[in-house]
Amino acid sequence: MMKFMFMLLFIIPLCFLQNMFWLVYLFLMLMMFMFMNLSINIMNFCNLSYMLGCDMISYGLIILSIWISALMIMSSQSLLKMKFYLNFFLFNIIMLMLMLFLTFSVMNMFMFYLFFEGSLIPTLLLIMGWGYQPERIQAGMYLLFYTLFASLPLLLGIFYIYINNYSMMMYFFKFNSYECIYLYVAMILAFLVKMPMYFLHLWLPKAHVEAPISGSMILAAVMLKLGGYGLLRVMMILQKIGLKMNYIMVVISLIGGLYISLKCFCQIDMKSLIAYSSVAHMGMVIGGIMTMNYWGYLGSYIMMIGHGLCSSGMFCLSNINYERLGSRSLFINKGLMNFMPSMSMWWFLLLSSNMAAPPSLNLMGEISLINSMMSWSWITMFMLMGLSFFSAGYSLYLYSYTQHGGYSLGLYSFFSGVSREYLTLMLHWLPLNLLVLKIDYVMIWF
């Protein structure tokens, strides 16, 4: 694992040379394929080096991080055209990638906390430095203070575990189980804010709408998954208290997800709609993890990977429209089928994956999550029915609103799309729909 960390460190000088934009992208892709060829032990941590290690959860999420980081560079070509602080932008992405890589691969809980918080800084710089409107400062503050406020209890919780266990290694978590309500709240609050759970989600739509395309992609694809990853790790030691308290989280997540799905129908900004749909999907993931059963863990993991690829692809699409029309408003983005018929196909493919149509990973994840929550309590059926139905609803709403109807007279760029954009979208969609063929690896692991 250490070799990948050094590879990232050695990419940093490249960021400051002239005309290295695509070389950094190619190095990330190379790293991705090298990482894919690691041999993974399905049961335990493997590839150990110093404090780094990798098991099945880390493996999937690290691959997702590298993949999305490369695609972020690919979709930010407008910065290359304008030469807008390009070197610093690449440096920022590599630092973010480094933080994410370390967050997912460290086995010490305190180091995890450190990098979990550290990944906030490059994201904040992305939003504040390359965002669009002046409100990005407020969005950045929201992101920072929500996360920091919720993270202090986590730090205290980690110290408490260390005092009791004399170890902070995640591997040893399975030998302990605590029954302290304060510890329970302290350990999961930071992750629920990061996910984000309903009631703690106010930073997310703001951050998404103000972020540049690369910021939105990494936020949707990987930053939300940090919360899910943390929950998957810490629920091991919270089993006893979890059996008593988790029902509160499941109820809030499901009812909140249902409400947010309805809220998606009120959105007039494309990015805002996609951001709110993320909150609804993550509500299901939290519900699945909190049931603490086999299907729940399995479904939440698959859903996190699937949602990461799908959501990131949809943000790419909204940005492609934004670059053509200069607006993300649904009132202006109309009748795009007349101008970009082939782009309509990508809208259709990614939105169909978003509503969990086969053969996407989202479908597999949603089936597992429904299995998990229905076996936990049949009452969840009503919320899950609503969630699935409305997720199809707002996806169709977004598709029909943008692609059909009379087009705006304000259109000022009439070409259908460049090969770079189609390639970016294909690299989101292919893994999302082909990984289903290898779903048995995840099943065996869980």
Residue entry with tokens 């950094």:
24
| pLDDT digit string, tens, across residues 249-305 | 999 999 999 999 999 999 999 999 999 999 999 999 999 999 999 999 999 999 999
List the beta bridge partners of residue 269: 329
In this predicted structure, the answer to whether residue 228 has a pLDDT above a threshold of 90 is: yes
Name the band, by pLDDT with cuts 50, 70 and 90, for residue 49.
confident
**Which pLDDT does position 42 carry in this prediction?**
73
**Which pLDDT does position 414 carry in this prediction?**
66
Taking the C-alpha atoms of residue 323 and residue 411, their distance in angstroms, rounded to an integer, is 10
Name the band, by pLDDT with cuts 50, 70 and 90, for residue 446.
low
In this predicted structure, the answer to whether residue 187 has a pLDDT above a threshold of 90 is: yes
**Which pLDDT does position 406 carry in this prediction?**
85
In this predicted structure, the answer to whether residue 441 has a pLDDT above a threshold of 80 is: no
**Which pLDDT does position 104 carry in this prediction?**
95
> What residues contact residue 374 under an 8 Å CB cut-off, 6+ apart?
380, 381, 384
List, as one string, the DSSP characters of 77-97: HHHHHHT-SHHHHHHHHHHHH
Taking the C-alpha atoms of residue 318 and residue 162, their distance in angstroms, rounded to an integer, is 46
> What residues contact residue 289 under an 8 Å CB cut-off, 6+ apart?
228, 231, 232, 235, 296, 297, 300
Name the band, by pLDDT with cuts 50, 70 and 90, for residue 171.
confident
**Does residue 49 sit in helix, strand or coil?**
strand
User: Of the given ranges (130-134, 298-302, 414-418, 436-440), which has the lowest mean pLDDT?
Assistant: 414-418
Q: Please provide the average confidence, as pLDDT, over all residues in the chain.
A: 92
What tokens appear for 417 in the block? 């799309």
In this predicted structure, the answer to whether residue 176 has a pLDDT above a threshold of 90 is: no
Q: Which residue has the higher pLDDT, 324 or 99?
A: 99
> What residues contact residue 434 under an 8 Å CB cut-off, 6+ apart?
none
**Which pLDDT does position 411 carry in this prediction?**
74
Taking the C-alpha atoms of residue 213 and residue 238, their distance in angstroms, rounded to an integer, is 37
In this predicted structure, the answer to whether residue 413 has a pLDDT above a threshold of 70 is: no
Q: What percent of the chain has pLDDT over 90?
A: 79
Average pLDDT over residues 350-373: 94
CB-based contact 112:81 (threshold 8 Å): no
Q: What percent of the chain has pLDDT over 70?
A: 99
Average pLDDT over residues 388-411: 90
Cβ burial, residue 441 (10 Å; 0-12/13-18/19+): middle
Question: How large is the C-alpha radius of gyration of the chain?
Answer: 21
Q: What share of the chain is helix, strand, coil (3-state, %, to 5)?
A: 75, 5, 20
**Which pLDDT does position 148 carry in this prediction?**
92
Range of the domain at 160: 1-443
Name the band, by pLDDT with cuts 50, 70 and 90, for residue 339.
confident
**Which pLDDT does position 445 carry in this prediction?**
65
Average pLDDT over residues 157-169: 92
In this predicted structure, the answer to whether residue 415 has a pLDDT above a threshold of 90 is: no
Into how many domains does the chain fold? 1
Distances (CA, A) of 257 to 106, 111, 253, 277, 395: 31, 32, 6, 9, 15
Is the bond preceding 359 in cis, omega lying within 30 degrees of 0?
Answer: yes
**Which pLDDT does position 427 carry in this prediction?**
96
In this predicted structure, the answer to whether residue 408 has a pLDDT above a threshold of 80 is: no
